[in-house]
Amino acid sequence: MVKIEKKFVAFSLIAVILGWNFGSFLGCNKDSNNNNNNGKQICNYDELIEVLNQAQPGQTVKIGNCRITGSFTIPSGVILEGVDKNASILVSEGDHPVVRITPSTDQSNLTEVTKISIESNGLAGILCKGEGNVQIKDVKITSSRGIAIGAEELTSLNLSDIIINGPITQENANNFPPNITAADIATHGLVLVRVSNASLTNVSVSGFATFGALLVDSDTQWEGGGASGNMGTGVLVHKGHAFFKNLGICKTIKGLKLIPSYDGVFVNGATIETDNVEVCDGDGFGFLHDSVTANHANLKVRNNGDAGLWVQKSPSFQISGNGTEIKSNRFAGVVLLEVGDTVIQDAKMDENIITTRVFEETGSIDVGDGIQIVKPAGHVKLQNLSMSNNERVGILLDLGGGSFDNVIIEGVSVEGTGNQYGAIAQNGQIPDSWDSGVTRRGNVSVNDESFMGSLSIVGTVPSKSIPSANDVETNGFGAIIGDPG
């Protein structure tokens, strides 16, 4: 017996010297990743529910290469991880959300969902609500009804590499009645309500019947991806702050909606910043701003069925950057109505197209302007602009009976053919030298010089024609889907 003990002690000493894990050698090691299911990939509904119910913060619950039907709740601080978003698939059962995420107040153990797909025919794909932090990455959601992702009252939300798809296409859009609801079809791709810090990276949303993304009183940073091919409105920002970079917000579909469609809508005191965003090919407006502060850099606004950029009753507005191009939009490239301090510089604005529109204040008018500024409420600076072949006029400045004192025009080039005008100022105290910073080329030189009278101006887009998020601000995503159960 003494000999055996000596051999065991000697073996143990060798194990220590060589750095062996003695417990592992004996087959009794605990999972080094602290996985609640010891690294096992679950493919059974009952087992997944049981493991999730028992999971503790910091643990990972793994799903295998399979489809599991049901409704699942992720506890605070737990990670739900699949094999791959094309292999591990959770499928809705009834109206219930497929996944509910419980936010974590522990920054070292975020609640996370990763590497899965969700197929939802219920009222929501993923819902998370309450104080705390959530991370969702490398996930694909396909929704037939309701909301794809809804988040409310979170401290932070990190979304990365997310694909969100709904059922709407250009081909089927006219098959749906104008007031279709979330109980009938997928209406909202992404809904954020009072999220203190939302970070979105490579998030793409398409195919939803009312909003691609609805951002309500949240602070959102969104880089990469975008919201294209939705019906109604691509992105709406209501209050809060949003910074968009390297996004495409395009091809918004009107369908049978009773109000215009918009690639983007910014309202109710929001602050908007963008850099290198493309706004293109929508059936209606590009971006509409109402009572907001906006600063756009290197913005590309092309081929929209109504004004590319519409700004009204807003405290300040700025466009800058040599990458800025506003081209081939119907009605106007940029319209500013009763806007405060305004800077438009380093931009090309070409070939915006004459179209007839009806306004309550002005009636039916034909407009095809590069820039139309009406009743400026602050300083206006137009600098380093190149404008060609806008079908009615390059720049129309209507002072609304006011003074030219707060207007600066420098380094502006306008040119055109036929009956096109270059730069017209009207309806105010306009000095003879007002256009000393304008260079005219082509027919616009003669046309401007011989111009008499005034050009028609726009009226306000009324609130009844602008989509609203007031009910969502008051009642959260419950205003869209009711009690998700």
pLDDT higher than 60, residue 24: no
The β-bridge relationship of strands 271-275 and 293-297 is parallel
Predicted pLDDT of residue 72: 98
**Interior angle at CA 115, CA 245 and CA 214, nearest 5:** 40
- The backbone torsions φ and ψ at residue 221, rounded to the nearest 5 degrees and listed phi first, read -115, 120
pTM: 0.91
Spatial distance between the Cα atoms of 69 and 307, rounded to a whole number of angstroms: 46
Predicted pLDDT of residue 10: 40
Lowest mean pLDDT among 11-15, 64-68, 300-304, 481-485: 11-15
- The backbone torsions φ and ψ at residue 7, rounded to the nearest 5 degrees and listed phi first, read -65, -40
pLDDT higher than 50, residue 32: no
110 with 135: CB under 8 angstroms? yes
pLDDT higher than 90, residue 243: yes
- The stretch 247-259 carries a mean pLDDT of 97
333 with 301: CB under 8 angstroms? yes
Phi-psi region of 11 (alpha: psi -120 to 50; beta: other; left: phi over 0): alpha
Tokens of 461: 């887009």
DSSP state of 14: H
* Beta carbons within 8 Å of 58's beta carbon, 6+ residues apart: 34, 77, 78, 108, 109
313 with 351: CB under 8 angstroms? no
Type of residue found at 478: G
Q: What confidence tens digit (pLDDT) does each residue in 65-75 have?
A: 999 999 999 99
Type of residue found at 272: I
Nearest CA-CA partner of 415 in 455, 458, 370: 370
Tell whether the torsion through CA atoms of 430, 431, 432 and 433 is positive or negative: negative
Question: CA torsion, points 252, 256, 260, 263, in degrees to nearest 10?
Answer: -10
Q: What confidence tens digit (pLDDT) does each residue in 364-394 have?
A: 999 999 999 999 999 999 999 999 999 999 9
Tokens of 46: 């009952």
What's the chain's average pLDDT?
92
- The stretch 285-311 carries a mean pLDDT of 98
- The stretch 303-307 carries a mean pLDDT of 98
Spatial distance between the Cα atoms of 136 and 200, rounded to a whole number of angstroms: 10
DSSP state of 173: G
Predicted pLDDT of residue 36: 53
Instruction: Provide the percentage of residues in the chain whose pLDDT is more than 90.
Output: 89
Residue-wise over 263-288: b if at least 16 C-beta within 10 A, else e? bbbbbbebbbbbbbbbbbbbbbbbbb
Q: What confidence tens digit (pLDDT) does each residue in 391-411 have?
A: 999 999 999 999 999 999 999
Question: CA torsion, points 435, 440, 445, 451, in degrees to nearest 10?
Answer: -40
Predicted pLDDT of residue 110: 94
Tokens of 174: 């006219």
For the chain, the straight-line distance linking the first and the last C-alpha, in angstroms and rounded, comes to: 66
Beta bridge partners of 227: 205
Residue count of the chain, please give it.
Answer: 485
Lowest mean pLDDT among 25-29, 87-91, 179-183, 471-475: 25-29
Tokens of 138: 């490398």
DSSP secondary structure of 84-98:
-TTTEEEE--TTS-S
Binned at pLDDT 50, 70 and 90, residue 15 comes out as: very low
DSSP secondary structure of 316-353:
EEEEE-TTEEEES-BSEEEEEES-SEEEEEEEEEE--B
Predicted pLDDT of residue 444: 97
Binned at pLDDT 50, 70 and 90, residue 474 comes out as: very high
Instruction: Provide the percentage of residues in the chain whose pLDDT is more than 70.
Output: 92
Spatial distance between the Cα atoms of 437 and 425, rounded to a whole number of angstroms: 13
Nearest CA-CA partner of 326 in 359, 296, 293, 303: 303
Spatial distance between the Cα atoms of 346 and 226, rounded to a whole number of angstroms: 25
Predicted pLDDT of residue 37: 62
Tokens of 447: 């046309």
- The stretch 426-430 carries a mean pLDDT of 95
Q: What confidence tens digit (pLDDT) does each residue in 128-149 have?
A: 999 999 999 999 999 999 999 9
Spatial distance between the Cα atoms of 130 and 128, rounded to a whole number of angstroms: 7
pLDDT higher than 50, residue 464: yes
How far is residue 122 CA from its own chain's centroid?
23
